[in-house]
Amino acid sequence: MHELSIALGIVKNAEDELRKVKANLVDEIELEIGSLAGVEFNSLDFVWPSAVENTILHSAKRTINTIPGQASCLECHVDFKIENHFDNCPECGSPFKEIVQGRELRVKSLLVS
């Protein structure tokens, strides 16, 4: 499952960070996930417990900040909110845009002990 590899990637990322500070348990983890990152939040919730089992994240409280999609039209240069990759520019109808925000998938902060 796609979300399982995402969750395992997050665990790996947290482990790498903890090694740097020589901590061994995460109390809280804050994630930033863009609405265009292709993450199914329900699936992520579902796989999370098994992904973090026996890891430094096993007892961590998890917070997810969702970042809304934002695009910039390549034709009329207007910035607009985007719900999915196929949305056209609301001003001129152009399908050509640059995604400026919403693909994020990262660990924003870790509270360790």
Q: Note the residues at the interface with Zn ion (CB under 5 A).
A: 73, 75-76, 89, 91-92, 94
DSSP 65: E
Our CB check for Zn ion shows the closer of 73 and 110 to be 73
* 45/63 Cα distance (integer angstroms): 11
User: Counting beta carbons within 10 angstroms of the beta carbon of residue 86, is it exposed (0 to 12), middle (13 to 18) or buried (19 or more)?
Assistant: exposed
CB of 88 to Zn ion, least distance (A): 8
CB of 92 to Zn ion, least distance (A): 3
Our CB check for Zn ion shows the closer of 94 and 101 to be 94
Our CB check for Zn ion shows the closer of 56 and 89 to be 89
* 23/4 Cα distance (integer angstroms): 25
